[in-house]
Structures are given as C-alpha cells and as structure tokens.
A and B are shown apart, each in its own frame.
Chain A
C-alpha cells in the first residue's frame, strides 16, 4: 500500500511539473516581445552607437535559438530539453547556459534563505509555543509586540534601515556583496567567516520579519491544542510540565507549522528578490528579476521551472513524511 501511495503521489508530482512547464513555456510568449531583438538592440546601441545590420543579426540569432520555428515545434523541443535537464542558453547572456546561471545563484539563495527560513521557523515556533504556555517566563510576552510589529514591515524596508544603521552609520557590517572586495574565495575559515559576515544583514532583515509570523501561527495552534482532552488527561496524570509542553502540546501543534515550513522551503528557490537587490546578494531572486527585465525567456522558464519542481518536490516529500511526524495519518486511503 505504501509503494502504491508513493507512486501515486509521484505521478501527481510529475503531472504538476508538466502543467507548470507548459504554462511556463507559453506565458512569457504572450508578452509579444522579442527577447533576441531586445537584447541585440541593447547590445548594438551600447554606449549610444547603433551598429549596422541589426536585422541580419537578429535573424542569425533567432535561428540559433530556434525561435524562428513554429510554436508547437519550439514547445516539443523545450519539453524534450527540459526532460534531459537542458534548460538551453540564456538569451541575454549567451553563451552562458541557464543551468550554469541557476547553479551559481542557487547556493547563495539556499544559504541565505534556507538558513534564515529554518532559523525563523525554529525561533518563531518555540516563541509562539512559549507565548501560549501559561508557565512560561513573563519576559517572553514583552518580546512579541515588537516581533509582530516587525512582521508587518516588508523585508526590503527593514533591510534598508538595517543597512543604513549597521553598515553605514556604525560600519559594523559590510554594505553589500557576498564577500569582501579582494577576498580570496578559498576553503578556509577566514573566507567562510567573511561570507557569514556578509550574510548577517540580509539574514537579519528576513529573520526579524519572519519570526513574528511563525510565532503568531504557533501560538494559535498551541492555544487550541492546550484545550484538548489529552492535555487535561496528561495534567491529571501528574506528568511533568516540560513533558506536557513538548510531547503533548508542541508536538501536536507543530503539524500545520511543518506544512508551512515545507512550502516555505520550496519557495526559497524563488529568492527574496528585493532583499537580494538591496544587499547585492547574487541569489536566484535577483537573477529572476533580471531575466524578467531582459525578457530572457529561457532564463525565466528555467528559474520558474526549478522553483516549481522544488515546490512540487517539497509537497511530495511532505506527503511522504507526514505519517512519520503524525502516526494518526496513514498511507491507507480514507
């Protein structure tokens, strides 16, 4: 039964991926813009001078990218290429490949958003649980109003304030970039610390905004869970307060949070566009922003496809892992 369940779920995952890939192919084309022409015109008029023979150049590259072929043919070629993991060349950055560009941006985004999402989740979930717990220290409650207030502020706005205060005014942290100017990217502690130091400001702007949201959601679930009969029963049995808090309340209240975490982890691949833009962080969000600006169809398709696959895969994993987290859920059909 377990294998059938997993195969079915995987089938749904593949269906989602195909649908998404199809939409992904057709939607950018509805804009009616010609990315090759736009790119070549921008290149050709570099610095204000207009090159000769632009039309010839456009035709050459339309041919090279297969954009001179009928749409259905382009679609089939696209599906074939995608199934082989070939996401084509970036039109705006030829001869760079889409896979190569995504590969070099992904670690930055996963590093930044992966860590901040996990940290925000952990901190927010614990804080939210403590906030609902009547025996928690009173000072915890003082933490929440500012965190909720921060939750209402967009990442990028907080980022601007933090950048001005901590990087410019006090000069404690770097203004922008992934590592210091002139730093030698080597596998040593000095470089790792340098990278981490550059990640502090963007991370802080994301964490400070996110923690409140996770805490708020967890607090609500904890309040509901604490009213359940099994919690009352556990208290009546005289179990230790910490045991009731962690095993009876938190463990049950955390399930919707876990769903949220899986989806959030899937979404990190789309990056925090504006945060990356403010801090010059070379992640995938900024890459997508740039691809849209340049109508780079292949790059847009590649990034969105990767994000969809990641989200679909996160959902698939969640389906598989859920019974492990909550024994009440089984692989059997209802």
Chain B
C-alpha cells in the first residue's frame, strides 16, 4: 500500500525498509583494527580479563605509546616495551634484559649501561644504545608533559650513546638509584622506545598504533593483531631475541586475548566456566564460591585464604598532621590504640588479610630493616589495641568523655571525617569508622569522587590510603614522609600526612646518597629515621594490601604461588612478561 500524504507519495513500505537497513548497518561493530587472526586453538590461547579497562571496554585501545597521557601501560603496553632490566621483589632477583650490565662511578654522577647485542625491533631495525639515550634525553626534555619526565629531568644531565651498545648517563646530582628506577618492577620503570619511530612525534599524543604498519613495534615476543573496545589480541612472534639468546624460554602461549573487565560477577562466572584463564581482582567472599564450582581455579596462596599475595602498598589511616587536634602525636597514638586490627581484618576482609606494622611490605629484601627496628617496634607498638592507653592519652591532653563521646579540650565533639576510595575505602572504611565510634570518636566515612585531588592537596582530615614506597631498601618509603630535600633540588615532596621533621628530612637525604647495596649503613640510617618517625606516628598503620587474583589451571599451570614465588602475578604490572615465559601447558 502506498500512502498518499501531504509530504508526497512516499511509500511507507520503503520507509520501513530504509529504517531496517539503517538499523542493520548500525549493528556493525565500530572502533576495530585488526589483522587476519591465525587459527590458534584454545589450549594455546590465554584469555585474560583485565582490570585496567573501564565498564567493559578498552577505551585506550588505540594508545600503544605508554607515554601518551591517556595511555596506561597496565593494559597491554607492558607486554610490548621491554625494559633495561626486571626486578622481582618476591624472589629478590634481577633479570638484566635489554641492558647486559651497568656501572656507576663512585660519586654516582655517571652511569654506564652496556646494552645487549643482536636485538631487533619487530620492524627489523636493530635495537641499540641510541634508543636508550634517545628515550632518556626525550624524557628529560619533555619533563612534566609525560609520565616519568619530571623524575628523569630532576636527575639527568645528558645521555650519550658512546657506541652501539654503550650508553653513558651523566647526572646533575648523585643518582645511585637511577638504574633501579628505570628497571621494571610493579608499576614503575622506564619504557624504552624505538628512536626511529618516536623521533619527531609529540609523545603526549602519539598513539603508536597502526596494525597494517606493524605498529606498535616491539622487541618483545608479542605482536598486536587486534585492538578494539572489545578485546586486545596479541600473537606470538617466533623470532624473539631473548629466546634465541637463551635468556628465557619462548612463552608457550601462542595467543593472548585480553578482555575488558565488566564486573566481579562476570569475572567469577568466566573463571567457573573456563572462559578465562586469568581474572581481575576478586573479593575474598567470591573465591570460595568460584573454587567450589571449578576446582581448577586457584590463587597465589592456593585454594585457601587470603586468596592472594601482599602487594607493595600497605594501607594506613592517614590523619592530616596540620589539622588540630591531629597535629598532636598523642592524639594519633590514641587513635592507633583504639583500632582493633584483627577485628578490622575479620570483618572487612573475612579474615583474608594481615596487619601491617610499618608503611612498607615485609618483602624478603626488606626483612633486615624490619629486624633492625624490632626493639623500637616493641616500644612503639603500632599494632597495639589498647583502648585504656588511648583513653589515658586523650585525658592527659584535656579531652573529656560526655555520654560515651569524646570532647576536645574546648568542649567540641572529637570528630574524624575519613575519606576513602576504591576497594580499600569501601571494604575497610565503614568498619574502621564503627570501631572508632565505639571508642567515643565521632568518625564518619565518605568516598568522594575527587578523592585523589583532595588527598594530595591535603584537603582532608582522615583518609584511608596506602604507601607506594620501598620494595628493596628503605629510601622510597622514607621519601614519602620527607617535607623537603636538599639532596634532590626541586624534588616534589609526597608527604601526604603533612608531617614535618627537619632532622628526619636530613636523614632521608643521607639515605638518598647512600649506595643501595650498603645494607649496613642503610640499616643504621633507617633506625635513626624510625627513632623519629615511630614516636611521632605520622599515620596510623592498618593492614597489608592484597591482590586476590583468580588463576585458572585448566589450560595453564606454573602460575606464581607461595611455594613458587618467582614474581607477583598481576597482569597489569610491568613484570607480567616473567609470568608468561614461566607458564606451562596444563
């Protein structure tokens, strides 16, 4: 039937047909770049659900330059850009990689790096010392425009390729930790980029993505064959230099499919149904459910609590040391005495966590430093639950209890507004607030969307946050509390707790110029620093942070575990390639 209308003789049928065609066209996927996929069976494929994605999509699928401001090395570039070296804090082991060796001058103002020979980028251009020197100098010049730029700019004067396999870095200041800084561990390390591709590009916006051209180019064993909102696919390159040079076995997985995480429920279901081999972090309560339905799923701690490993990020209750009454160390200690950390672990994490006495994780290379302050910790027990001691400290400061609630010396309620974010905020925040309320402190919790901004600007009273500090020796943790530095001119002070102690700052500067291998001297300095830090207690120690990652052994085994602790197993960390070349077919 044809509808004669005021608009003319347009056929309704034609209109409907047009609409259907438009709808069909709309169904076709957009935002996809791919190469023809090889036919690789499931038992040679690893399917991973990645946590760096957002709401079920890889928004950064085009960004394979990890220095671009919206890019994130956690979402795949960590497989593409190989480092000068890897470091495993779990095994306390170095893996010299693109660099064969390195040597500092005695004053730590010059570093000579020998790079390996026989390495080629995936476009067949030889990798050389020029790439390293170019990366370092570019970072120095770009400074605040890109990640790591300011860190390099503070230290580096000039990097020069003395010959194709020798890089000489001259520093403005002694930089004994520069090589370690550049080494891949957790989320820290300098990505060495191909000079022939990056030169002349604007690093902050260059995507380094064109599958037809073979971009991103890499020295690693993986090439990107598809990258879309829905998945990132990597296929194995069979001419990986590290396998040829017998530095590592060729990874047994021929293909990786990285899917974006949707939510915890889907991640758990995918593990149960063997649709994924590696999931993103799950809550402690989810693990028993998953394992009950699929006995092949395990975790770093096996099929038992705490279902994961201790991350490098011990969590504290920060109080702003510039806000009254928290500028008083006795008030901070009183709060510490009110917190029953065992109860916190039992309720917030169903027992699947451990407490943390100091703001650094108990990793093997750090244990000597824990030992060195054993006596101090006995005297200043940061984990002691003793409400009576807390009461006594507050009373001595003129606080009074009224109807079970503390009042400050000027008669106001003793309140503590805590802010938090992410998993730690939502898991611990309510429990911690309730524990403090039961001891008379009017504690409250909010999880503001601008947490980072408020916390880092010091616009908070109380906060739940961790410490991205030391994993090998104590400098990086001590640095977190330094209010100013003379050893590193222009250095940015982290100092989240807004605590200030000039004597402490001096000790940290001395730690900075000490050779990281000089454990005896570092121990001595660490004790001196802790003699100031512990009585003052700038922030209140709570628990270790755990990464609870489900690992499916249906197709792949030899994942890192407590008994086989060669590295931590987070796919988002820069060291994930170590897991991949250690995996074995099930």
- Do these two chains really belong together in a complex? yes
Contacts of B36 in A (CB 8 A): 184
Interface membership of B304, Cβ < 8 A = no
Within 8 A of A (CB), among B371-415: none
Interchain CB contact under 8 A, A93 and B26: no
Pick from A54, A163, A290: contact of B456, CB below 8 A.
A54
Question: In whole angstroms, how far apart are the Cα atoms of A192 and B573 in the complex?
Answer: 35
Contact with B along A293-334 (1 / 0, CB 8 A): 101000000000000000000000000110111010011000
What distance in Å separates the Cβ of A9 from its nearest Cβ neighbour in chain B?
Answer: 14
B 249-270 binary contact with A (CB < 8 Å = 1; else 0) = 0000001010110110110011
Q: In the assembled complex, which residues on chain B have CB atoms less than 8 Å from the CB atom of A114? A: 23, 26
Q: Measured between alpha carbons, how far is A327 from B3 in the docked complex, in Å?
A: 11
Q: Which residues of A contact B310 (CB under 8 A)?
A: none
A176 touches B453 (CB 8 A): no
Taking CB atoms, residues of chain A closer than 8 Å to B30 are: 103-108
Smallest CB separation, B103 vs chain A (Å): 26
Segment of A30-38, A146-154, A214-222, A229-237 engaged in the interface with chain B: A30-38
Q: Which of A2, A93, A182, A281 has the most CB of B within 10 A?
A: A182
Q: Is B363 an interface residue when CB atoms closer than 8 A count as contact? A: no
Least CB distance, A274 to chain B, in whole angstroms? 11
Q: How far is the CB of A257 from chain B (nearest CB, A)?
A: 16
Given known pairs A43-B69, A276-B56, the reply for A96 and B62 (CB within 8 Å) is yes
**Measured between alpha carbons, how far is A43 from B27 in the docked complex, in Å?**
34
Is A48's CB under 8 angstroms from B5's CB? no
The B contact surface, by secondary structure, is: loop
Residues of B within 8 Å of A104, CB to CB, are 30-31, 229
A50 at the interface (CB under 8 A from B): yes
Residue B238 lies at the interface, judged by CB distance under 8 Å to chain A: no
Which chain A residues lie closer than 8 Å to B59 at the CB level? Answer: 93, 96, 101, 290
Contact: B204 with A95, CB < 8 Å?
yes
Query: Do B70 and A90 touch across chains, with their CB atoms under 8 A apart?
Result: yes
Q: Is there a chain B Cβ closer than 8 Å to A12's Cβ?
A: no
Q: Give bound CA distance, A282 to B56, whole Å.
A: 6
Best-buried of A56, A195, A196 by chain B (most CB within 10 Å):
A56
A111 partner, pick from B23, B57, B187, B272, beta carbons under 8 A: B23
**A181 partner, pick from B6, B47, B150, B492, beta carbons under 8 A:** B47
Complex CA gap A176/B54 in Å reads 14
Asked if B229 and A44 sit within 8 Å, CB to CB, the answer is no
- Interface-facing stretch out of B139-147, B319-327, B529-537: B139-147
Instruction: Say whether A46 contacts B74, CB under 8 Å.
Output: yes
Confirm or deny: A20 has a beta carbon within 8 angstroms of a beta carbon on chain B: no
Q: Is B356 an interface residue (CB 8 A)?
A: no
A202 to chain B, nearest CB (A): 11
Whole-angstrom CA separation of A170 from B28 in the bound complex: 28
Closest Cβ of chain B to A271, distance in Å, is 11
Q: Across the two chains, which residue of chain B brings its CB closest to A293?
A: B449
A7 located at the interface, meaning its Cβ lies under 8 Å from any Cβ of chain B in the complex? no
Determine if A167 is an interface residue (Cβ-Cβ < 8 Å).
yes
Checking B5, B54, B263 against A278 with a beta-carbon cut-off of 8 angstroms, the contacting residue is B263
Q: How far is the CA of A289 from the CA of B449 in the complex (A)?
A: 13
**With A38-B450, A293-B449 as given contacts, are A52 and B23 in contact (CB-CB < 8 Å)?**
no
User: Counting CB contacts under 8 A, is A25 at the interface?
Assistant: no
Identify the interface centre among B147, B148, B450: most chain A CB within 10 Å of its CB: B450
Residues of A within 8 Å of B68, CB to CB, are 94-95
Q: How far apart are A38's CB and chain B's nearest CB, in angstroms? A: 5
A16 lies within 8 A of chain B by Cβ: no
- Please report which residues of chain B, range 27-42, place their CB below 8 angstroms from some CB of chain A when the two chains form the complex: 27-32, 34, 36-37, 40
Whether B72 contacts A46 by the Cβ 8 Å rule is yes
> B60 an interface residue at 8 Å Cβ cutoff?
yes
User: CB distance B453 to A41 under 8 Å?
Assistant: yes
- Minimum CB–CB distance from B144 to chain A (whole Å) comes to 4
Q: Please list 8 pairs of residues, one from A and one from B, whose beta carbons are closer than 8 Å in the complex, sorted by A's number.
A: A50-B468, A51-B492, A53-B143, A53-B153, A106-B30, A175-B266, A178-B230, A195-B27
What is A's interface to B at a CB cutoff of 8 Å?
2, 33-34, 37-54, 56-57, 59-61, 64, 90, 92-96, 100-101, 103-108, 110-111, 114-115, 118, 160, 163, 167-168, 171, 175-179, 181-182, 184-185, 187, 192, 195-196, 199, 276-282, 286-287, 289-290, 293, 295, 320-321, 323-325, 327, 330-331
Q: Which positions in B face A, CB cutoff 8 Å?
A: 3, 5-7, 10, 19, 23, 26-32, 34, 36-37, 40, 45, 47, 54-57, 59-60, 62-63, 68-70, 72, 74, 143-145, 147-151, 153-154, 186-188, 204-205, 207, 226, 228-231, 233, 255, 257, 259-260, 262-263, 265-266, 269-270, 272-273, 275, 311-313, 449-450, 452-453, 456, 466-468, 491-492, 494, 572-573
Closest 6 CB pairs between A and B?
A: A47-B187, A280-B56, A104-B31, A53-B150, A48-B468, A280-B262
Since A93-B60, A110-B26 are in contact, a sample of 5 more A-B pairs with Cβ atoms closer than 8 Å, ordered by chain A residue number, is A107-B28, A177-B262, A185-B226, A282-B57, A287-B57
